[in-house]
Amino acid sequence: MHPHTIATTTSTVRSISGGSLPRVLRTARSSAIRFSDTLFGNRFLLRLIGVFLAYYAAGWIGQATTSIRSGNVGPVWPAFGIALAAVLAYGPRIWPAIFASAFVVAYQSPVFAVTAAGQAAGATLAVVAGAWLLRRQPDFDPRLPRLQDAVRFIIIGAFGCAAVSASIGTTSIYATRLEGYSGVFTAWLIYWLGDATGALLVTPLVFTAGSIPGLQDLRRVIEFALLLTLVTAASFILFGGVVVFPNEFRLLAFAIVPFVMWAAVMFGVGGTAIAVALTATIATLLTAFGFGPFAQQSAFVNAALLDVLFAVLAISGLALAAVICEREHAESERERLIRIQADIEARLRLAVIVESSADAMVSTTLHGIIQSWNAAAKRIFGFTEDEAIGRPTTLLAPARLWQEDARFLERLRLGQTVDAFETARVTKDGRELAVSVAVSPIHDAHGVVVAAAMIIRDISEQKRTAATVTNLSRRLIHAQEQERSRIARELHDDIGQRLSLLAVNLEGLSNPDESPLPVDAYELHRMASEIAGDIQSLSHRLHSPRLSLLGLPAAMRHFCGEFSQQHKVAIDLECHDVPGPIPSDVSLCLFRILQEALHNAAKHSGAQQFEVKFWAAPPDLHLVVADRGRGFDVTSAKAGRGIGLASMEERIKLVGGELAVESRPDIGSTIRARVRYIE
C-alpha cells in the first residue's frame, strides 16, 4: 500500500474515533429516514403501486376465462374499468402504473412482447384520453349523480375509450400475426365490447360502492342483503344450468333486469353497480365453465351475447339510478332552498323588527366588541354604525360601570341570560342616560355560545316622569294639608268665634237680667246670616251642589257671581251652544279648572276684570279663562312649588282632554281647555 494512502487511512480512522463517528452515524440514519419517507410516505408512489396491483388482479381475473377468449381477446375486461377509474381519481400522471401492469398481464397471456406493449399502449392512451374528455365536461362527477353524467360516462368513458383501446389492441394483435376469434372485425367487436363492459361494470363500482345510501338503517341493510341474495340465486338459476333453456328462450337471461331496477331505485348507483357486477361475475364464470344459455354457441357468439347482456344491464341500471339520484338531489335541493328562503325571510323579518324597534339592539362578541348597531341605537346614543361597530361596549358605559360589562360577558360564556336591569349609559355628547339592559347569549348551530345580544331601552323619560309624579304627589299632599289648615283656621278662628259670640248673645237673650250686654235681635239675625253665608261659601268651594242639580253652565254662572262679589272683580261670562247633558266627570273637570284659573288670576294677575267663555263645537267642549294682568313665565310656574297648573293638567288628562296655557309678562294670561264629549 502506498505510504500516502496508509497515512490518509490512518488519519480518517483517527478522525472518526476522535468524534466524527457519531456525526457519520447520524448522517446515515437521516439518509435512511429520508429514503423510508420517500418510499412509504410518498402518496403518489403508493398510488402507483396500488393501481399496478389492482389492474394486475383485475387482468388476471379477466384472463381466467380462457374458454371464451381467443387470441388474448375476450368479453368483460374489468382491468379497463380499473384503469379508467384510476385516471379519473388520480389524474393522467398515473399512466406508468397502468402501462406497466397492462404490459405484464398481456405478456403473461402469453403473447409477444411487441403485442403486449401495443395492447398496453392502447389501453393507457384510451383511458387517459377518455378521462381528459370526461373532465372537460361541465361539472362531471364520476359518481354519476345525474343522468347527464351517466350518459357522458357511457358514451365517452365506456364505448368511446373502448373504441380507441380496441383499435390499437387489435392492430397490435394482427400485426404480430396473432388472430382473435374468426377475423379482425369480430376480434375488434369483442375487444371493444369487453373493454366497454369492463368500464361500465367496474368504474362506477370504484366510486360508489362505499357510499350506498340508507345503509345506516338496519332494515335497509337487511333489504340490501336480501337483494344480493336474490341476485346471486337468480344468476345461478339463469346462468348455471339449473334450468336448461333452449336457444329460443335465451332471452330469459334478461329476467335479472328487475333485480337491477330494484337496486337502482332503492340503493342508487352504488347498489346498481354491485348488483350488475355480481351478476356479471357469476354469469361470466359459469359461462366459462360451460354452463348456462351462453355456453351453447361458438366462442364469439357466447362472448358477444354476454357483453350485450352486461351492457344492457349496466346502461339501464346506471341510467335509472342516475335519474332517481338526480330527482332526489333536486328534491333535496328544493327543500334546502325552501329552508334557506325561510331562513332569509326570518332574518329579513328580524332585521325589520330590529331596525324598527324603539329600543337599541346591539350584538357583541364574547370579548365585548360591537358587531351590529340598529337605528334606535344611533338615535339614542348618537353614534353612527361605522363609529360603533368594532369598538368595545365600554364606549357606552360610564367610567364607574366599566366592570359591569365584563361580569355580563362572563355569565354569557356560561350560557346564562342576564335579565333586564336598570343602569346608566352615556351618549356621544357625554350625556348620561338611565337605561334598562337585557343581555342574552347567541348560540351557533352546535349550541356553543359565540356572541351576545343586548336590548337597551332608554328609560330617562320614564324616570323623569316618575320623579315628576312623585313631586306632584308630594305637592298635592302638601296642598291638601294647607287646605285643611286653612279650613280649620276659618272654622276655628272665624266661624267658630262668631258662633261662640252668637251663643253668648242668645244666652243673654234668654236671661236678660244676667247678660252684661244689651241684646239686639236684629244684630243676632245679622250675625247668624253672615255665618250661614260663609259656611255656604266654604261648602261651595269644596263641592257645588248646583253642578249636579242645575248643570255646568248654571254652576259656572253662580260661581262667577259669588266670586265677583267676594273678590270685588268683574267677570264677563259668555256661554253658548252648550249641550244639555254633559258627563259628570267632564263637568266636574271643567268646573274645577274654572275655579282654579279664577283663583290664580285673582291672586297673581292684579287684574280687576276677567273673561270666561264656554261653548260647544261638536265633538268638543271649549273653556277659555283670560285676563289682562301682569302675566307670568309658564315654564317657571310649572316647575315651581305651586300645584295650580299641574292639578289642571292632571284633571284634564283624566278625561282625555287638552290644556294650553299662554302668558306673557304685562300682557296677560289665557288658559284654554278642550274636552271631547261626543264619542
- 238 or 642, which is more confident? 238
Confidence of residue 91 (pLDDT cuts 50, 70, 90): very high
- 410 or 431, which is more confident? 431
Straight-line distance from the first to the last Cα atom of the chain, in angstroms, rounded to the nearest whole number: 134
Between the alpha carbon of residue 300 and those of residues 244, 276, 290, 309, the distances in Å are 21, 22, 14, 14
- Look at residue 40 in the predicted model and tell me its pLDDT: 44
Statement: residue 569 has pLDDT above 70: yes
Confidence of residue 16 (pLDDT cuts 50, 70, 90): very low
* Cα–Cα distance, 428 to 221 (Å, whole number): 66
- Look at residue 481 in the predicted model and tell me its pLDDT: 55
Question: CB under 8 Å to 321, separation ≥6 — which residues?
Answer: 144, 150, 263, 264, 265, 268, 269, 271, 272
Average pLDDT over residues 271-287: 88
Q: What is the bridge-based pairing of β-strands 668-676 and 620-627? A: antiparallel
- 429 or 182, which is more confident? 429
Average pLDDT over residues 233-247: 71
* Dihedral sign for Cα atoms in the order 483, 487, 488, 494: positive
Q: Round the average pLDDT of the chain to a whole number and report it.
A: 79
Helix (H) or strand (E) holding 509: helix 496-510
Statement: residue 197 has pLDDT above 60: yes
- Look at residue 552 in the predicted model and tell me its pLDDT: 84
* Cα–Cα distance, 432 to 437 (Å, whole number): 14
Residue 149 falls in which region: left (phi positive, over 0), alpha (psi -120 to 50) or beta: alpha
- Look at residue 676 in the predicted model and tell me its pLDDT: 86
> What digits encode the pLDDT tens for the residues 621-643?
999 999 988 888 777 776 665 56
- Look at residue 400 in the predicted model and tell me its pLDDT: 65
Average pLDDT over residues 274-286: 88
Statement: residue 8 has pLDDT above 60: no
**Among 41-50, 309-318, 430-439, 508-517, whose mean pLDDT is lowest?**
508-517
∠ Cα 517 489 503 (to 5°): 25
- Look at residue 512 in the predicted model and tell me its pLDDT: 56
Question: CB under 8 Å to 34, separation ≥6 — which residues?
Answer: none
* Cα–Cα distance, 80 to 82 (Å, whole number): 5
Confidence of residue 421 (pLDDT cuts 50, 70, 90): confident
Statement: residue 231 has pLDDT above 70: yes
> What digits encode the pLDDT tens for the residues 572-591?
999 888 877 788 888 888 88
- Look at residue 95 in the predicted model and tell me its pLDDT: 94
Between the alpha carbon of residue 238 and those of residues 69, 259, 503, 666, the distances in Å are 22, 13, 139, 122
Q: What is the bridge-based pairing of β-strands 620-627 and 570-576? A: unpaired
Phi, psi of 637 (to 5 degrees): -65, -40
Statement: residue 9 has pLDDT above 60: no
- Look at residue 163 in the predicted model and tell me its pLDDT: 93
Q: Do 118 and 172 meet the contact criterion of CB atoms below 8 Å apart? A: yes
Statement: residue 374 has pLDDT above 60: yes
Q: In the chain, pLDDT over 90 holds for what percent of residues?
A: 20
Instruction: Give the CA radius of gyration of the chain.
Output: 54
* Cα–Cα distance, 402 to 424 (Å, whole number): 11
* Cα–Cα distance, 186 to 75 (Å, whole number): 12
Average pLDDT over residues 208-231: 88
Confidence of residue 64 (pLDDT cuts 50, 70, 90): confident
Average pLDDT over residues 386-390: 89
Confidence of residue 480 (pLDDT cuts 50, 70, 90): low
Is 437 in a helix, a strand, or coil?
strand
Statement: residue 593 has pLDDT above 50: yes
Statement: residue 99 has pLDDT above 90: yes
Between the alpha carbon of residue 477 and those of residues 242, 470, 483, 484, 543, the distances in Å are 113, 11, 10, 10, 19
* Cα–Cα distance, 395 to 368 (Å, whole number): 10
- Look at residue 127 in the predicted model and tell me its pLDDT: 94
* Cα–Cα distance, 279 to 287 (Å, whole number): 12
| Residue whose cell numbers read 352504488 | 270
Length of the chain: 679
- 244 or 236, which is more confident? 236
Residue 580 falls in which region: left (phi positive, over 0), alpha (psi -120 to 50) or beta: alpha
Q: What's at 25, amino acid-wise?
A: L
* Cα–Cα distance, 655 to 620 (Å, whole number): 12
> What digits encode the pLDDT tens for the residues 306-360?
888 888 888 998 899 889 988 888 888 888 888 888 888 877 777 777 777 788 8
Long-range contacts of 247-252 (CB under 8 A, 24+ apart): 247/293, 247/296, 247/297, 249/293, 250/293, 250/294, 250/305, 252/293
Q: What is the bridge-based pairing of β-strands 609-617 and 620-627? A: antiparallel
DSSP notation for 351-370: HHHHHH-SSEEEEEETTSBE
Q: Which of 100, 123, 229 is nearest to 170 (CA)?
A: 123
- Look at residue 629 in the predicted model and tell me its pLDDT: 87
C-alpha cell recorded at residue 287 = 359461462
Confidence of residue 18 (pLDDT cuts 50, 70, 90): very low
Q: Which of 135, 109, 134 is nearest to 120 (CA)?
A: 109
Q: Give strand pairing partners of 369.
A: 392
Buried-exposed string 329-367: b where 16+ CB fall within 10 A, e elsewhere: eeeeeeeeeeeeeeeeeeeeeeeeebeeeebbbbbbeee
- Look at residue 246 in the predicted model and tell me its pLDDT: 54
Q: Do 73 and 171 meet the contact criterion of CB atoms below 8 Å apart? A: no
- DSSP helix, strand, coil percent of the chain (3-state; round to 5): 65, 15, 20
Q: Which of 238, 230, 234, 232 is nearest to 291 (CA)?
A: 238
> What digits encode the pLDDT tens for the residues 113-148?
888 899 999 999 999 999 999 999 988 999 988 899
> What digits encode the pLDDT tens for the residues 504-526?
666 666 655 555 545 566 666 66
Alpha helices in 64-213 (DSSP H): 78-90, 95-107, 113-136, 147-152, 161-175, 184-208
Statement: residue 204 has pLDDT above 70: yes
DSSP notation for 191-206: HHHHHHHHHHHHHHHH
- Look at residue 496 in the predicted model and tell me its pLDDT: 60
DSSP notation for 280-321: HHHHHHHHHTT-STTSSS-HHHHHHHHHHHHHHHHHHHHHHH
